[in-house]
């Protein structure tokens, strides 16, 4: 028997809310994993104004890997938001969409205290 609350019977606003909920849950988790492990799609070297997929010599100056984290996290969250059926998220507590990012931010702040405590 078909589910009466199938994806097709949901309104566009319900599907959008579902997709945004999935996006807001996946993005911070992927971002924190990439951040903690210093994994990036690419590195930007502002002193020479170049993007590279690999770590470059120190003569290139410090690398900015933030942009790589943002792009990969955005892509992963967008894919998840597109493929996760809205019926899976219909019964999720709406608070997860702010609680998960809040914990990701708290984790980041706590992790960064290593620079202050040395």
Contact 28, 100 (CB under 8 A): yes
pLDDT value at residue 1 = 46
| More confident site: 92 or 37 | 37
Tens of pLDDT along 56-105? 999 999 999 999 999 999 999 999 999 999 888 888 888 898 999 999 99
Stretch 22-44: mean pLDDT = 94
Please report the pLDDT score of residue 114 as a whole number.
84
- Cβ atoms of 42 and 51 within 8 Å: the answer is yes
User: Could you tell me the pTM of the whole model?
Assistant: 0.82
Rounded-to-integer distance, Cα 37 and Cα 55, Å: 14
What's the distance, Cα to Cα, between the start and end of the chain in Å? 62
């Amino acid at each position: 028997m078909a589910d009466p609350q199938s994806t097709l019977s949901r309104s566009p606003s319900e599907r959008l809310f579902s997709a945004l909920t999935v996006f807001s849950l996946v993005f911070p988790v992927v971002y924190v994993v990439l951040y903690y492990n210093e994994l990036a799609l690419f590195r930007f070297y502002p002193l020479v104004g170049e993007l590279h997929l690999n770590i470059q010599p120190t003569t290139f100056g410090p690398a900015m890997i933030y942009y790589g984290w943002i792009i990969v996290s955005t892509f992963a969250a967008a894919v998840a938001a597109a493929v996760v059926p809205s019926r899976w998220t219909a019964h999720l507590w709406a608070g997860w969409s702010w609680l998960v990012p809040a914990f990701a931010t708290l984790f980041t702040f706590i992790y960064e205290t290593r620079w202050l405590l040395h």
